[in-house]
Chains A and B, each alone.
Chain A
Amino acid sequence: MESIGIIVAFWALAVTTVGAALGVLVSRNLLHAIFFLITSFLGMAGLFITLSADFIAAAQVLIYAGAISVLLVFAMMLTPLASRDNANSLYLAPGALAGLGLAAIVGFVAVDTPWAELAGSTLAERSFPDTVRTIGAQLIGRYVLAFELASVLLLFALIGAVVLVHDRAAERGAAAAAEEAGTGPREEAT
């Protein structure tokens, strides 16, 4: 972090990200909260760019700011009573206190530590042309196992999501209809 541009960008993005995140908590209207969340996601993507992590920044915009926020809006609009007040404030004071305490600890540790980071000439020697190629090669090369494991995980997360929202009344109705037709497999005799 040498050049003035990066420093200005960092602080601007940091303020955007944290401010928007606070907005998510403070806003009473769920839709406003979602828009604050999107702003926070975009600020985060900007922070990734200042770290030369272009692929992660793009993924952040596409997946979080794009897909997930659209999903959230849909979920909110399709849920009855979603527009009611989004929180009670019973634990506001202890929650804020605990949050501030935690932030203070983490902040102190992060600032106080002499991190072994690249700086000065060693940083300048590294070139970061693009990270997509490297990440892609690592994912299906070096870390192929974690990649495969994650893909199995996602498959079953998908199945799990279907199972969770599956309308059981409809299933029972279908089973009863199938039984009437004489093809109900789950009800066959032992």
Chain B
Amino acid sequence: MRDILGHSLNFQYELLLPEIIIAITATLVVGADAFRNELRLGRRILPWLSVIGLVAALVVSLLWIDTQRNFARLITIDNYTTFFRVLFTATAIVVIVGSHEYVERHIGHIGEFYALILLSTVGAIYMAAARDLLTAYVAIEVLSFSLYVAVSLARNDPRSGEAALKYTLLGGVASAMLLYGLSLLYGVAGSTQYTEISGALAAGTGGMTLPLILGLVLIVAGLGFKASAVPFHMYTPDAYEGAPLPITAYISATSKAAVLALFLRWFSGPLLPALPDWQWMVALIAVLTMGLGNLVALQQRNIKRLLAYSSIGQVGYMLMAITTVSVVSASALLLHIGGYLVTNLAVFMAVIAFYNRTGTEEISGFRGLAQTNPYLALVITAGMFSLGGMPLLAGFLTKFILFTAAADGGFLWLATFAVIMSTVSLYYYLQVIKQMYLYQPDGDARRWRLSPTGYLTTAVLLAGTVVLGVYATPLYTLADRATRVLFV
């Protein structure tokens, strides 16, 4: 089959195998949940099934290392796609393994919870893999819709429904803005294919600069909302606070990484010829995001809200890499995303384990954790220090490389601002650490243990945080290989 321009199209469905596996697993999970009584399945079958599907997808996606193929000119299978396939499936596995106890206690619809995580992983992967605006848009919607519902799944928590409603309404507006921006881009470039757009923009827009700029404004605003960049971040703290903890972890990890992956794919490819038109927008948003995210985080009392604002600040750093788009800053961005995911998930998995035991989300509730559970206090401390950028942990190295890349890219003032804000962020991370180490436990001072899966996930992520901080070369090499394909 050929498309309208005469390009031959291949429909090699095996290229989509990882996502097909995940989608089938998602429907199986819903089915197994629906017929659990009839089939006499144990309650652990659903997380097991999900993890098996995800592991299979992860292994299969390794088949296409160093290949450069596409499916019907809609999806690219290259190293960039493979990088994010592995990253997103691994994130989903960690979230599912680390939270199944929480899910049994606090989630109203267990089957749907796992199915939605699986499905949103498919959306996230296609956001990184798409090479056509419409496919990318459908992928964004797959991710967003799954998360709208997932946010509302907390049982007996009125904040959950409120969070879902805010997230859905504002998310719908953001999607509409994005779609309108994309339609303007289509009007200017005459195609929805990334390669055609980049060619058309490079050849000059022929007096159509205004719609291009308007389109870019709308695209940046729409994507900025999905990444919760300031000033489109208003929903983030409420959505984070109301959502069940594993979903908060998942949103702060996969959803952000997927939007950044899409950002990089668009702004290093089809939109690169329009660099002068969008560079200032992204730089402006990056500054606002870093500044406001970190400053407002200083006043938070709830750990979820603290992590929400901290993740907003992190998005600011990542947008900095988009501003100075180049091979160096792109691989620095991927490295930082990898480090951020590991660190952030370590903190969240520890907070989930903490919540399973104590049922509190207040930062003051962490009082004396160093006495009641020194291991968990250590994990949270390492994670917080890494997020704040202390040496010998993942956060320091990835931030260092990211800031250096931004400074080398001609945005020294942006990098300087990032360093200042990074120092500010240490204050609020230290607040949590102070509660754990300097105060006596409030009530029950007995020692307690985590569940086996709690130990497993936190230990793996803690190891990852430390190892990446000392020896990040392998991940950096992978990120470099993944981003080479973007700039051809």
Contacts and interface: CB of A to CB of B under 8 A. Distances in A.
Interface string B7-27: 001010000100000010011
Nearest to A187: B43
A54 to B, nearest CB: 20
Contacts of B115: 156, 159
B134 A164 contact: no
Contacts of A84: none
B210 A152 contact: no
A160 B71 contact: no
Interface of B: 1, 3, 9, 11, 16, 23, 26-27, 30, 36-37, 41-43, 71-72, 74-75, 104, 108-110, 112, 115-116, 119, 122, 126, 132, 134-135, 138-139, 141-142, 145-146, 148-149, 152-153, 155, 164, 184, 187, 190, 206-208, 210-211, 214
A163 interface: yes
B164 A149 contact: no
A32 interface: no
B11 A156 contact: no
A185 B36 contact: yes
A145 B72 contact: yes
Interface stretch (A3-11, A20-28, A68-76, A109-117): A109-117
Interface of A: 105-106, 108-110, 112-116, 141-146, 149-150, 152-153, 155-157, 159-160, 163-164, 166, 168, 171, 178, 183, 185-186, 188
A113 B75 contact: no
12 contacts: A109-B184, A113-B208, A114-B206, A141-B1, A143-B72, A146-B74, A149-B142, A152-B122, A156-B115, A160-B112, A160-B116, A163-B153
Top 3 closest A-B pairs, CB basis?
A: A160-B149, A109-B210, A153-B142
A112 B135 CA distance: 30
Given A163-B149, A168-B155, A149 B139 contact: yes
A156 B190 contact: no
B37 A185 contact: yes
Contacts of B11: 144
A163 B23 contact: no
Nearest to B109: A163
A150 B142 CA distance: 8
B122 A106 contact: no
Contact of A145 (B16, B41, B211): B16
A186 B36 CA distance: 10
A155 B145 CA distance: 11
Contacts of A116: 190, 206, 208
Contacts of B190: 116
Nearest to A156: B119
Contacts, number: 103
B214 A105 contact: yes
Given A164-B152, A166-B109, A168-B108, 14 more contacts: A109-B211, A112-B210, A142-B1, A145-B74, A146-B132, A149-B126, A152-B119, A157-B145, A160-B146, A160-B149, A163-B112, A163-B149, A171-B108, A186-B110
Nearest to A115: B187
A160 B135 contact: no
A113 B116 contact: no
A183 B119 contact: no
A156 B145 contact: yes
Contacts of B75: 145
Contact of B37 (A145, A166, A183): A183
A153 B144 CA distance: 10
Q: Which of B43, B109, B115, B145 gathers most chain A CB within 10 Å?
A: B109
B138 A164 contact: no
A115 B208 contact: yes
A159 B30 contact: yes
Contact of A142 (B3, B104, B155): B3
B384 to A, nearest CB: 31
Given A145-B71, A163-B153, A156 B146 contact: yes
A145 B3 contact: no
Given A116-B190, A144-B72, A185-B37, A153 B145 contact: yes
B1 A160 contact: no
A114 B207 contact: yes
A108 to B, nearest CB: 8
Contacts of A157: 145
Contacts of B108: 163, 166, 168, 171
A109 B216 CA distance: 13
A146 B134 contact: yes
A178 B71 CA distance: 49
